[in-house]
Amino acid sequence: MSPSPWRLAARTERMNPSVIREILKLTELPGIISLAGGLPSPDTFPVEAMRAATTRVLRDHPREALQYAASEGYPPLREWVAAEVGSRGVAVDAAQVLITTGSQQGLDLVGKALIDRGSRVAVESPTYLGALQAFTPYEPELVAIACDDEGPLPAALAAEGQGARFLYVLPNFQNPSGRSIGAARRAAIAASARDVGLPIVEDNPYGDLWYDAEPAAPIASLWREGTIYLGSFSKVLAPGLRLGYVVAPAEVMPKLLQAKQASDLHTPSLNQRMVHEVVKDGFLREHVPTIRKRYKAQRDAMQAALAAHLPQSGPRACRWQVPGGGMFFWLELPEDVDAEALLPRAVERGVAFVPGAPFFAGAAKKNTLRLSFVTVAPEAIERGVRALAAALETTR
């Protein structure tokens, strides 16, 4: 046999199968209550609206929907996005909007345009795993910024963020921690970042999914020329369409656009037109509240179950915040409990979760885990949390 002719790029040594993906395989056993997922509930997909929109698009504009199109995206959808983010206080022109194949692609394009091998990139602690996966192939040096319950500490930003290519931050109901950054902290982060010349990449997949109070205005509204803002239709419509967007300062946009063109020419025309057809007349104003209502009940059920079954004081106390929105609770277990070691015991007892360690770019807190409440009915949430508590009992 001849030796292999293939030589892989050095970057592939840092690329690994998603830990979560591997865990999900282990936990997709029958009878297991999975609180491990990161998927929205398919009960929230507006199937009828999608069907009607698709029918109209393929009836009225089949050739355009099936033909190659501009890399920037479908112009009316870009206009819609500009108006949408404008309504959140981020005044932009449609020319600053780039439609992407899911917001995961937005993260990849940001990496392609901004990261050199060895560039420092500042991230929250913990941070979104998909962003780490998107940035890693560009071989950055990741810098974990110290965070408290309200996100990155402005002083840590000033100390650690200087010279980094950007700070990646997910201010609303973060995946995995569920935490949100309040208005005052956002202002402090923007001021501190501006002081040290650290641009911000602000990711907002969950902002519409608030259950108690609407989130503060995006950081992008505070420092427009220093912020790239990413949004997505995955959580308010459906993720399988792979539709997201990037709003970028004029100075960065041309390179993001060229990176987009090199990556997949453009996001599928049909999908862009379908989604525009669904959203253009205000559909989300009626639809999103129905998602909020459903998820809020599930969040409340998880909070009640956690409070009922997990110790909140004493030497075995667990700690969590009630997330104001999004999809996740983040649990801190007693210091001596390794969530990864806990997982098989939990699965034995009928519940699965995602250990927290993979979400840390720096030193991992191994005693953390993520629980999703959106795909499981309240009654099953209660049973799942009880099983988790039972597994935790065995670690005493």
Assign 138 to helix, strand or coil. helix
How would DSSP label each residue in 321-354?
PPPSBSSEEEEEPPTT--HHHHHHHHHHTTEE-E
- Please tell me whether residue 249 binds a copy of itself under the rule CB under 8 A: yes
Interface with a copy of itself (CB under 8 A), residue from 125, 267, 367, 368: 267
Percent of the chain as helix, strand, coil, to the nearest 5: 45, 15, 40
- Please tell me whether residue 115 binds a copy of itself under the rule CB under 8 A: yes
The residue (of 82 and 201) whose beta carbon lies closer to a copy of itself is: 201
- Please tell me whether residue 271 binds a copy of itself under the rule CB under 8 A: yes
**Phi/psi of residue 317, nearest 5 degrees:** -65, 140
For β-strands 354-355 and 368-372, DSSP reports them as antiparallel
The residue (of 137 and 378) whose beta carbon lies closer to a copy of itself is: 137
Q: Residue 145 gets which letter from DSSP? A: P
354 and 23 in contact (C-beta within 8 Å)? yes
- What tokens does 206 get? 């969950």
The residue (of 162 and 395) whose beta carbon lies closer to a copy of itself is: 162
Q: Report the alpha-carbon distance of residue 144 to residue 122 in Å, rounded.
A: 6
- Please tell me whether residue 15 binds a copy of itself under the rule CB under 8 A: yes
Instruction: For residue 289, give the H/E element and its range.
Output: helix 283-309
Q: Report the alpha-carbon distance of residue 46 to residue 316 in Å, rounded.
A: 43
Task: Give least dist CB 296 to a copy of itself, A.
Answer: 22
Residues 48-107 that bind a copy of itself (CB under 8 A): 50-51, 54-55, 58-59, 62-69, 71, 100-102, 104-105
- Please tell me whether residue 238 binds a copy of itself under the rule CB under 8 A: yes
Each residue 143-182 as x (binds a copy of itself by CB under 8 A) or -, in order, gives ----------------------x-----------------
Task: Give least dist CB 348 to a copy of itself, A.
Answer: 26
Of the candidate spans 84-92, 237-245, 331-339, 383-391, the one that interacts with a copy of itself by CB under 8 A turns out to be 237-245
170 and 126 in contact (C-beta within 8 Å)? no
Amino acid at 354: V
Q: Residue 305 gets which letter from DSSP? A: H
- Cis preceding-peptide flag for 126 (omega within 30 of 0): yes
Of the candidate spans 16-24, 172-180, 294-302, 363-371, the one that interacts with a copy of itself by CB under 8 A turns out to be 16-24
- Please tell me whether residue 270 binds a copy of itself under the rule CB under 8 A: yes
Q: Report the alpha-carbon distance of residue 118 to residue 123 in Å, rounded.
A: 15
The residue (of 242 and 386) whose beta carbon lies closer to a copy of itself is: 242
Task: Give least dist CB 246 to a copy of itself, A.
Answer: 13
Q: Report the alpha-carbon distance of residue 391 to residue 369 in Å, rounded.
A: 13
Interface with a copy of itself (CB under 8 A), residue from 116, 149, 281, 335: 116
Q: Report the alpha-carbon distance of residue 115 to residue 137 in Å, rounded.
A: 10
Q: How many residues bind a copy of itself (CB under 8 A)?
A: 87
Q: Report the alpha-carbon distance of residue 232 to residue 375 in Å, rounded.
A: 19
- Please tell me whether residue 370 binds a copy of itself under the rule CB under 8 A: no
Contacts of residues 264-267 at CB distance under 8 Å and 24 or more positions apart, as own/partner, are 264/101, 264/105, 265/68, 265/71, 266/68, 266/69, 266/70, 266/71, 266/72, 266/73, 266/99, 267/73, 267/99, 267/100, 267/101, 267/105, 267/242, 267/243
The residue (of 96 and 100) whose beta carbon lies closer to a copy of itself is: 100
The residue (of 10 and 213) whose beta carbon lies closer to a copy of itself is: 10
- Positive or negative, the CA dihedral 175, 177, 183, 188 is negative
- Please tell me whether residue 293 binds a copy of itself under the rule CB under 8 A: no
- Please tell me whether residue 242 binds a copy of itself under the rule CB under 8 A: yes
Of the candidate spans 77-85, 111-119, 343-351, 361-369, the one that interacts with a copy of itself by CB under 8 A turns out to be 111-119
The residue (of 85 and 129) whose beta carbon lies closer to a copy of itself is: 129
The residue (of 215 and 231) whose beta carbon lies closer to a copy of itself is: 231
Of the candidate spans 170-178, 261-269, 298-306, 351-359, the one that interacts with a copy of itself by CB under 8 A turns out to be 261-269
- Please tell me whether residue 264 binds a copy of itself under the rule CB under 8 A: yes
Task: Give least dist CB 184 to a copy of itself, A.
Answer: 22
Interface with a copy of itself (CB under 8 A), residue from 97, 188, 220, 259: 259
Of the candidate spans 89-97, 135-143, 364-372, 380-388, the one that interacts with a copy of itself by CB under 8 A turns out to be 135-143
